[in-house]
Amino acid sequence: MDEREAWNCFLHSGRVEDYLIYSQLHRQAEEAVSGQWESVEVPDADQNGRLGDWGAEYGGK
């Protein structure tokens, strides 16, 4: 059962158990998506995730 099926099941039945199943699947889906973005690394980025030496062009060091 996926998130959409769980939501439709809850809408049809109105049962708390069905809503809990939906909310668990929804949370797992959100965690999976946020986990994908956290694992992305840019090899040439500095510690703040910025690319290049923009400081020199704009009066920096």
The answer to whether position 60 is within a domain reads no
In a domain, 50, yes or no: no
pLDDT digits (tens, 9 = 90+) for 41-54: 655 555 555 555 55
CA 31/CA 10 separation, integer angstroms: 22
Residue linked to tokens 């510690």: 47
Task: Give the Cα-Cα-Cα angle 19, 21, 24 (nearest 5 degrees).
Answer: 105
- 8 occurs within a structural domain: yes
Residue 48 lies in a domain: no
Within-domain flag for 57: no
Report DSSP letters for 3-58, one per residue: HHHHHHHHHHH--HHHHHHHHHHHHHHHHHHHHHHHT---TT--TTS--S-HHHHT
pLDDT of residue 50: 56
Query: Which amino acid belongs to residue 30?
Result: E
pLDDT digits (tens, 9 = 90+) for 1-60: 888 999 899 999 999 999 999 999 999 988 887 766 555 565 555 555 555 555 555 555
| pTM for this prediction | 0.51
For 14, the domain range is 1-38
